[in-house]
Amino acid sequence: MSASDRQPKKSSDKRSLLIVSGILAAIGISLFAYLMWYTAPAEVMERVKVIAVTDEGCIAETMDGFAVNIGKCDAQEGETILALVDQKTKERAALMNPTN
């Protein structure tokens, strides 16, 4: 084979490698973006009842029955307060513990 026969093959190999690299990069970026969206908190102010005060924060129960850590608070057990609650945490808890 002459040198001119090999030239197009190298060019197509580089092009194939570039296409595969582009596809893998697009998949990686898509997965990273989804992960950031999935883990980003969606906090909403809710009325909760404090059920425990620990070193890691107050544990509260939402009005729809989910136990959540609301962080540091100066409330006593049994008090009802307003706190920011991550809605995605509640959604994940519902998926892990179905009520059916």
Q: What is the pLDDT of residues 57-80, one digit of tens each?
A: 899 999 988 888 888 988 899 999
Q: Are residues 10 and 27 in the same domain?
A: yes
Q: Are residues 47 and 35 in the same domain?
A: no
Neighbours of 97 (CB within 10 A): 8
CA quadruple 65, 70, 76, 81: dihedral sign: negative
Q: Are residues 34 and 60 in the same domain?
A: no
Q: Are residues 56 and 34 in the same domain?
A: no
Q: Are residues 30 and 48 in the same domain?
A: no
Residue 67: give its domain's CATH number. Answer: 2.40.50
Q: What average pLDDT does the segment 33-57 reach? A: 90
Amino acid 8: pLDDT: 53
- Band of the pLDDT at 100, cuts 50, 70, 90? low
**pTM for the full predicted model:** 0.59
User: In which domain, by residue range, is 90 found?
Assistant: 43-96
Q: Are residues 55 and 15 in the same domain?
A: no
71 beta partners? 58
Amino acid 12: pLDDT: 82
Q: Are residues 53 and 23 in the same domain?
A: no
Mean pLDDT of the chain: 86
φ/ψ of residue 32, rounded to 5: -65, -45
